């Protein structure tokens, strides 16, 4: 039986490693992704990898922003939006929580929101800069909130919404973040993948009621009861569906590789799916070769010691 600490560690490392494995393949369509056996932190020789200047094992904006969120939660004992927004701004400006302080792969909507934050706009409004923007930039970083949170489901849902609006204000983004957090919370208790997902959907419907705007977008855009469909792109629902499909696999490694095989936003799809697989399977399920190659482990270890005390 995996204990809570093993699942929490699995979730955080699973997100970071999934991100790092996916980085070299980003923006490539599915037909240009290597075969299953060749998907590794170091792509096959001669592969036209994205960001060729990066050393293998480097996480991207997904991992850095997730660590900004975790750092803020641990420092404040709650979700404090101004503090979290300041850390996101520091990530962009000075490389906070980026490996080697090197920032790359900035999302268009995230950057527009950060510019608004710098201009003095409240973090409760900064993410509405592109009202119809439905990218996955809030979903990709939210897992630490679910792993850290000890409040009721209603409070977790509210905080998932709030962390989203800092950069991605559309209701669809908020709903996907909330559903993902509830799914992770159920996996943290040891539930199987599908049971955890089903209970998360049921809980979200109960919390949203029958006629709220949140319920409307849950049913009309996320469509949680329908078979998931994705082409791997950066639309937030596509990323959530990529995770649902990848998590049909029974091992952490397979989940990450399948998420990358969808192509396009490979690092985010692998981070989002890999984080949940790490929670489900525990830290011991992550391949040692990937853990060994991950860069920046020491600074993450400091956060984990502060959080879990080990």
Q: Is 268 annotated in some ligand binding site? A: yes
265 labelled ligand-binding: yes
The closest of 255, 95, 276 to 183, measured between CA atoms, is 276
pLDDT, tens digit (0-9, with 9 covering 90-100), for 141-184? 999 999 999 999 999 999 999 999 999 999 999 999 999 999 99
Rounded to 5°, angle at Cα 59 from 53 and 65: 125
Residue 309 pLDDT level (bands cut at 50, 70, 90): confident
- pTM higher than 0.95: yes
How far lies 20's CA from each of 99, 227, 308, in Å? 11, 28, 24
- CB-CB contact of 14 with 274 (8 Å): yes
Token couple for 217:
């977008």
- DSSP reduced 3-state for 300: helix
Q: Is 19 annotated as a binding-site member?
A: no
- SS3 label, residue 133: coil
3-state secondary structure of 135: strand
The predicted structure's pLDDT at residue 1: 66
Q: Among residues 63, 256, 258, which one has the least CA distance to residue 142?
A: 63
Return the pLDDT at 258: 98
Lowest mean pLDDT among 62-66, 206-210, 306-310: 306-310
Residue ranges covered by each domain of the chain: 4-40+61-308
Q: What is the mean pLDDT of the chain?
A: 97
Over residues 195-221, mean pLDDT: 98
Please give the torsion angle defined by the CA atoms of residues 27, 101, 61 and 261, in that order, rounded to the nearest 10 degrees: 40
CATH 1.10.4080.10 for domain 4-40+61-308: yes
| pLDDT at 131 (0 to 100) | 85
CA distance 109 to 106: 9
* pLDDT number for residue 136: 98
251 within 8 A of 287, measured Cβ to Cβ: no
Q: How confident is the model at residue 58 (pLDDT cuts 50, 70, 90)?
A: very high
Q: What is the pLDDT of residue 153?
A: 98
Alpha-helix runs per DSSP H in the chain: 4-22, 61-76, 81-94, 108-118, 143-148, 153-165, 171-188, 193-208, 213-217, 236-246, 252-261, 266-281, 288-293, 297-308
Q: How far apart are CA 243 and CA 219, in angstroms?
A: 18
Reply yes or no on whether the pLDDT at 85 is more than 80: yes
The answer to the question of whether 61 is labelled as a binding residue is yes
Q: What is the pLDDT of residue 42?
A: 97
Q: pLDDT value at position 2?
A: 79
Q: Tell me the percentage of the chain whose pLDDT exceeds 90.
A: 97
Summarize pLDDT for 65-75 with one digit per residue, the tens.
999 999 999 99
Q: Which band of pLDDT confidence, cut at 50, 70 and 90, is reported for residue 310?
A: low
Rounded to an integer, the average pLDDT of 85-100 is 98
Asked if pLDDT for residue 5 goes beyond 70, the answer is yes
Contact 280, 254 (CB under 8 A): no
Find out whether 262 and 269 touch, Cβ atoms under 8 Å: yes
Residue in 141, 180, 146, 189 with CA at minimum distance from that of residue 6:
189
């Amino acid at each position: 039986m995996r204990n809570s600490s093993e699942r929490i560690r699995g979730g955080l490392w699973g997100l970071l490693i999934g991100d790092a494995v996916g980085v070299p393949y980003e923006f490539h369509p599915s037909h240009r992704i290597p075969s299953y056996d060749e998907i590794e932190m170091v792509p096959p020789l001669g592969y036209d990898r994205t960001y060729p200047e990066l050393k293998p094992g480097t996480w991207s904006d997904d991992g850095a922003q997730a660590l900004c969120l975790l750092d803020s939660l641990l420092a404040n004992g709650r979700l404090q939006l101004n503090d979290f927004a300041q850390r996101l701004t520091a990530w962009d400006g000075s490389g906070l929580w980026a490996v080697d302080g090197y920032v790359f792969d900035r999302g268009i909507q995230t950057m527009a929101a950060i510019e608004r934050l710098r201009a003095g706009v409240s973090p409760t409004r900064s993410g509405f800069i592109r009202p119809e923007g439905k990218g996955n930039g809030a979903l990709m970083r939210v897992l630490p909130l679910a792993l850290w949170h000890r409040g009721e489901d209603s409070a977790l849902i509210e905080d998932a919404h709030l962390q989203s609006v800092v950069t991605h204000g559309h209701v669809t983004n908020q709903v996907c973040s909330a559903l993902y957090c509830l799914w992770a919370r159920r996996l943290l208790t040891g539930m199987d993948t599908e049971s955890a997902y089903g209970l998360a959907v049921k809980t979200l419907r109960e919390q949203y009621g029958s006629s709220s705007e949140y319920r409307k977008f849950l049913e009309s855009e996320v469509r949680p009861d329908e078979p998931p469909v994705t082409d791997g792109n950066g639309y937030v629902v596509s990323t959530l569906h990529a995770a649902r499909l990848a998590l049909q696999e029974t091992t952490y490694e397979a989940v990450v590789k399948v998420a990358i095989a969808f192509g396009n936003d490979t690092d985010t799809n692998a981070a989002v799916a890999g984080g949940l697989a790490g929670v489900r399977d525990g830290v011991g399920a992550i391949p040692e070769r990937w853990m060994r190659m991950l860069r920046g482990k020491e600074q993450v270890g400091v956060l984990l010691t502060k959080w879990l005390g080990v």
